[in-house]
C-alpha cells in the first residue's frame, strides 16, 4: 500500500516550520540556470533539446540530461503520456542541489497539458524520485490515481516543490489506498528520511471516487512526511480529504489556502508505517478559508501533540466543526461569509475576497511565505488577509455605494503572460459602485475586453461609489518578444483513410507563430485532436506570425 490514506486528521506546526522556510514561491530561488532544455509535441529525443527548434519529445528523457540549475521548458500542447505506473508517467529521477534546483516548467502557464495513462493504486502522472526539483505551471489530468508525487522512491528524496499547477479530474481508486492530486510523499516504504516539500499556489479541482465506492479515500493534497509546507493553494471539490496529513507527518504548515465544497477540509494527524510511533506535533494551520465543508471543517485524528496551533482561520457554510485533541482550541476563528469576488465553485471562479469581506485584516502574516496565489508579495509581519489571494484593491474613504456596502473592484487576466501578437481577456467586477473606469476610460460596472498589448501592461479598474469613495484592482499582462524567422505550419493525419464511424488523429505543428487556427477555429500552436468525420474531410492549420504573415498545412482524411 503506497498511500494508505485513512480517515485521519492533520496538524501543522508553526515554529519549526518557519525556521525552515528558505524558498521563494512562484520565483524559485536558485543560482543562475546553466542550460535550458525544450520539450514539444513535435519534438524528438534524438534532438539535442537545447533550442525551441530542436526540442525533445518527452520530459522524462529531458530529465536524464539535466544538471543542477538547469531548466526544462515544456511548450504548449497536449502530451498524451505512456503508462509509467507509480514511478510516474513522467518520471523525474534527476536531482539539483541547495541553491540550484532543477525546474520543470510549462512555457506558458497551464498551456502544457499532461494527460496521464496509468491506472490503479499508486499510479501518478508526474513522479519525482530525485531531490531539489520544481514542478511548475502544468495542466495535469488523466486516468492515474495521482497527479503529482514529490517522492516516489528512496529515502533521500527531499526539498521538491510543486508550484502553480492546475491538477484536476482525478478519480481515486476505491481500494483502501486512494488517490491524491498532489502528494508530498509516496507512501509507507518511501517516507522514512524524506522531508521538506513545498506545495504552493496550485489549483486542485475535482478529486472524486468511483461511483458506488463505499470506502472513499481520495485527497486533494496529502502530506505524509515532516516539514511539508502547503500554502496559497485553492482546492475545489477536493475529495474525501481536501488537505490531509498522515503517516510520518509532523512540523507541517498549512497557510493561506482556500478550500471549497469538499468533505473533510483540513485534517491533521499521523499513524501507520513507516514510523508507527510518529506524533504529529509542532504543526500550524493558519489563515485558511474553509467554505461549505460537508464533513468536519478542521480536525485532528490519530497521534497528535500538544504544540499544534490553529490560528485565524475562516470557516463558513456546511459543517463548521473544528475538532481538536489534547485539549487544544482554535484561536481567532472567523465564522462569516468570506465574500469571494465570484464563487462559481469551479476553476473559472475568482476566489479573491471582496474589500468588505470579514477575511480582510483578520489574519496574521507568516514570515517566510513570500507571495500569495497570484504572486503578489505577502507581508512578513502584522495583520493580513485570510485566504490565498491578497488582492490589490485599496479604498480611499471607506464609504458605501448604491448597494449599502463598501465599494469594491476586482480584475483578472485570462493569460498573465503572452507572446507579442497574442491576446488576453481582461475581466473585471465591481460591488456597490455607480461608475467604473479601465485605465482612465469609462467602462461598464462588470465586463471584459480582449487586449493585445505589445509590451508588458497593467490594466487598472477603479470603481466609484455614490459618495465618491473608490476601490481599485489591477491585472498585469507580461509580454515577451515574438519568435523570429519565417512562419511555418504542418499537419498530418493518422490514419489517413478510415471507414465511416472510425476516428483519426490530426496532429499539427507551427514554428515562429503567435496564433494558429484549425479550419477557422483557434487552437494551440502545437497539438492534436481526434476526429470522426462522416465524409472525406481536409483539415487545414493556419499559422500567423507577429507581423501578420501566415503559412498553412493540411491533412486529408478519406472516409470510405
Residue 276 neighbours by CB distance under 10 Å: 11
Q: Do residues 540 and 492 lie in contact, with contact meaning Cβ atoms separated by under 8 Å?
A: no
Q: How far apart are CA 240 and CA 209, in angstroms?
A: 8
| Among 537, 533, 515, CA closest to 524 | 515
Is residue 471 located within the same domain as residue 512? Answer: no
Cα within 13 Å of Cα(207), Cβ side: 41
Is residue 196 located within the same domain as residue 252? Answer: yes
CA 215 to chain CA centroid, nearest Å: 27
Is residue 116 located within the same domain as residue 252? Answer: yes
Domain boundary among 324, 350, 376: 350
Q: Do residues 253 and 276 lie in contact, with contact meaning Cβ atoms separated by under 8 Å?
A: no
Domain boundary among 454, 480, 506: 480
CA 370 to chain CA centroid, nearest Å: 17
* Total residues belonging to the chain: 560
Q: How far apart are CA 164 and CA 148, in angstroms?
A: 12
Is residue 442 located within the same domain as residue 460? Answer: yes
Task: Assess if residue 391 is contained within a domain.
Answer: no
Report angle CA 72, 73, 75 to the nearest 5 degrees: 145
Q: How far apart are CA 351 and CA 360, in angstroms?
A: 13
Task: Assess if residue 402 is contained within a domain.
Answer: no
Q: What is the pLDDT of residues 3-42, one digit of tens each?
A: 333 222 222 333 333 333 333 333 333 334 489 999 999 9
Cis preceding-peptide flag for 274 (omega within 30 of 0): yes
Q: What is the pLDDT of residues 79-128, one digit of tens each?
A: 999 987 778 999 999 999 999 999 999 999 999 999 999 888 888 999 99
Res 394: pLDDT: 33
Task: Assess if residue 52 is contained within a domain.
Answer: no
pTM above 0.85, yes or no: no
Q: What is the CATH number of the domain that holds 504?
A: 2.60.40.10
Task: Assess if residue 224 is contained within a domain.
Answer: yes
Res 396: pLDDT: 32
Sheet with 457-464: strands ordered across: 417-419, 470-480, 457-464, 435-438, 441-443
Q: Do residues 377 and 367 lie in contact, with contact meaning Cβ atoms separated by under 8 Å?
A: no
Task: Assess if residue 393 is contained within a domain.
Answer: no
| Among 370, 371, 353, 373, CA closest to 362 | 353
Domain boundary among 480, 508, 540: 480
User: Domain range spanning residue 522?
Assistant: 488-559
Res 25: pLDDT: 38
Res 244: pLDDT: 94
Res 47: pLDDT: 96
Q: Do residues 166 and 146 lie in contact, with contact meaning Cβ atoms separated by under 8 Å?
A: no
Q: Do residues 500 and 516 lie in contact, with contact meaning Cβ atoms separated by under 8 Å?
A: no
Is residue 469 located within the same domain as residue 500? Answer: no
Task: Assess if residue 41 is contained within a domain.
Answer: no
Residue 535 neighbours by CB distance under 10 Å: 8
Is residue 493 located within the same domain as residue 473? Answer: no
Task: Assess if residue 169 is contained within a domain.
Answer: yes
Three-state DSSP state, 323: strand
With 0-12 / 13-18 / 19 or more C-beta atoms within 10 angstroms meaning exposed / middle / buried, residue 556 is middle
Is residue 196 located within the same domain as residue 264? Answer: yes
Cell of 437: 473606469
DSSP conformation letters of 427-479:
EEEEES-SEEEETTEEE-SSEEEEE--SS-EEEEEEEE-TTS-EEEEEEEEEE
Q: Do residues 87 and 122 lie in contact, with contact meaning Cβ atoms separated by under 8 Å?
A: no
The number of domains in the chain is 3
Is residue 332 located within the same domain as residue 418? Answer: no
Residue 284 neighbours by CB distance under 10 Å: 26
Task: Assess if residue 24 is contained within a domain.
Answer: yes
Report angle CA 252, 256, 260 to the nearest 5 degrees: 105
Q: Do residues 258 and 387 lie in contact, with contact meaning Cβ atoms separated by under 8 Å?
A: yes
Is residue 470 located within the same domain as residue 543? Answer: no
Residue 399 neighbours by CB distance under 10 Å: 16
Is residue 336 located within the same domain as residue 449? Answer: no
Q: What is the dihedral of CA 514, 523, 136, 58, to 10 degrees?
A: -100
Q: Do residues 132 and 168 lie in contact, with contact meaning Cβ atoms separated by under 8 Å?
A: no
Q: Do residues 135 and 165 lie in contact, with contact meaning Cβ atoms separated by under 8 Å?
A: yes
Is residue 436 located within the same domain as residue 540? Answer: no
What is the DSSP-derived secondary structure letter of residue 80? E
| Residue ranges, the chain, pLDDT below 50 | 1-33, 188, 190, 393-404
Q: Do residues 36 and 51 lie in contact, with contact meaning Cβ atoms separated by under 8 Å?
A: no
Q: What is the pLDDT of residues 188-231, one digit of tens each?
A: 454 667 889 999 999 999 998 888 887 777 899 999 889 999 99
Is residue 468 located within the same domain as residue 508? Answer: no
| Residue 211: partners with Cβ closer than 8 Å, 6 or more residues away | none
Amino acid at each position: 500500500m503506497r498511500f494508505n490514506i485513512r480517515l485521519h486528521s492533520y496538524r501543522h506546526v508553526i515554529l519549526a516550520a518557519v525556521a525552515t522556510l528558505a524558498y521563494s514561491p512562484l520565483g524559485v530561488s536558485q543560482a543562475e540556470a546553466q542550460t535550458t532544455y525544450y520539450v514539444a509535441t513535435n519534438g524528438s529525443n534524438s534532438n539535442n533539446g537545447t533550442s525551441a527548434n530542436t526540442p525533445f519529445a518527452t520530459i522524462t528523457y529531458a530529465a536524464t540530461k539535466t544538471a543542477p540549475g538547469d531548466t526544462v521548458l515544456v511548450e504548449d500542447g497536449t502530451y498524451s503520456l505512456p503508462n509509467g505506473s507509480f514511478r510516474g508517467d513522467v518520471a523525474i529521477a534527476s536531482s539539483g542541489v541547495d541553491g540550484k534546483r532543477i525546474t520543470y516548467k510549462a512555457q506558458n502557464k497551464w498551456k502544457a497539458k499532461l494527460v496521464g495513462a496509468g491506472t490503479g493504486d499508486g499510479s501518478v502522472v508526474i513522479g519525482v524520485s530525485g531531490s531539489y526539483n520544481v514542478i511548475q505551471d502544468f495542466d495535469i489530468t488523466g486516468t492515474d490515481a495521482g497527479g503529482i508525487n514529490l517522492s516516489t522512491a528512496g529515502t533521500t528524496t527531499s526539498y521538491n516543490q510543486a508550484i502553480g499547477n492546475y491538477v484536476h479530474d482525478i478519480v481515486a481508486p476505491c481500494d483502501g489506498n486512494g488517490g491524491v492530486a498532489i502528494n508530498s510523499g509516496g507512501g509507507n516504504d518511501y517516507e522514512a528520511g524524506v522531508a521538506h516539500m513545498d506545495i504552493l499556489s496550485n489549483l486542485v479541482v475535482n478529486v472524486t471516487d468511483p461511483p458506488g465506492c463505499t470506502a472513499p479515500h481520495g485527497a486533494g493534497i496529502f502530506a505524509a512526511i515532516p516539514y511539508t509546507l502547503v500554502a496559497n493553494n485553492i482546492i475545489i471539490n477536493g475529495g474525501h480529504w481536501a488537505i490531509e496529513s498522515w503517516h510520518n507527518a509532523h512540523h507541517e504548515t498549512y497557510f493561506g489556502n482556500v478550500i471549497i465544497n469538499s468533505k473533510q477540509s483540513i485534517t491533521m494527524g499521523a499513524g501507520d508505517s513507516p514510523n508507527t510511533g510518529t506524533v504529529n506535533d509542532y504543526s500550524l494551520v493558519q489563515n485558511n478559508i474553509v467554505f461549505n465543508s460537508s464533513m468536519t471543517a478542521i480536525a485532528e485524528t490519530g497521534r497528535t501533540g500538544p504544540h499544534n496551533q490553529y490560528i485565524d482561520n475562516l470557516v463558513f457554510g456546511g459543517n463548521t466543526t473544528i475538532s481538536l485533541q489534547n485539549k487544544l482550541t482554535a484561536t481567532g476563528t472567523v465564522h462569516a461569509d468570506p465574500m469571494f469576488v465570484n464563487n462559481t465553485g469551479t476553476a473559472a471562479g475568482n476566489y479573491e475576497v471582496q474589500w468588505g469581506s470579514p477575511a480582510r485584516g483578520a489574519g496574521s502574516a507568516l514570515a517566510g511565505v513570500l507571495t500569495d496565489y497570484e504572486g503578489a508579495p505577502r507581508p512578513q509581519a502584522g495583520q493580513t488577509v485570510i485566504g490565498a489571494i491578497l488582492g490589490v484593491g485599496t479604498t480611499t474613504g471607506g464609504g458605501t455605494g448604491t448597494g449599502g456596502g463598501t465599494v469594491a473592484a476586482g480584475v483578472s487576466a485570462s493569460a498573465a503572460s503572452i507572446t507579442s501578437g497574442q491576446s488576453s481577456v481582461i475581466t473585471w467586477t465591481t460591488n456597490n459602485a455607480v461608475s467604473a473606469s479601465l485605465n482612465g476610460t469609462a467602462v461598464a460596472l462588470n465586463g471584459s475586453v480582449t487586449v493585445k498589448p505589445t509590451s508588458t501592461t497593467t490594466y487598472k479598474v477603479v470603481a466609484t461609489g455614490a459618495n465618491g469613495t473608490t476601490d481599485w484592482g489591477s491585472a498585469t499582462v507580461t509580454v515577451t518578444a515574438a519568435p523570429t524567422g519565417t512562419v511555418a505550419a504542418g499537419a498530418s493525419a493518422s490514419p489517413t483513410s478510415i471507414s465511416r464511424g472510425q476516428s483519426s488523429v490530426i496532429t499539427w505543428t507551427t514554428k515562429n507563430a503567435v496564433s494558429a487556427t484549425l479550419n477557422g477555429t483557434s487552437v494551440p500552436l502545437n497539438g492534436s485532436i481526434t476526429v470522426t468525420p462522416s465524409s472525406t474531410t481536409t483539415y487545414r492549420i493556419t499559422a500567423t506570425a507577429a507581423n501578420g504573415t501566415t503559412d498553412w498545412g493540411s491533412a486529408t482524411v478519406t472516409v470510405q
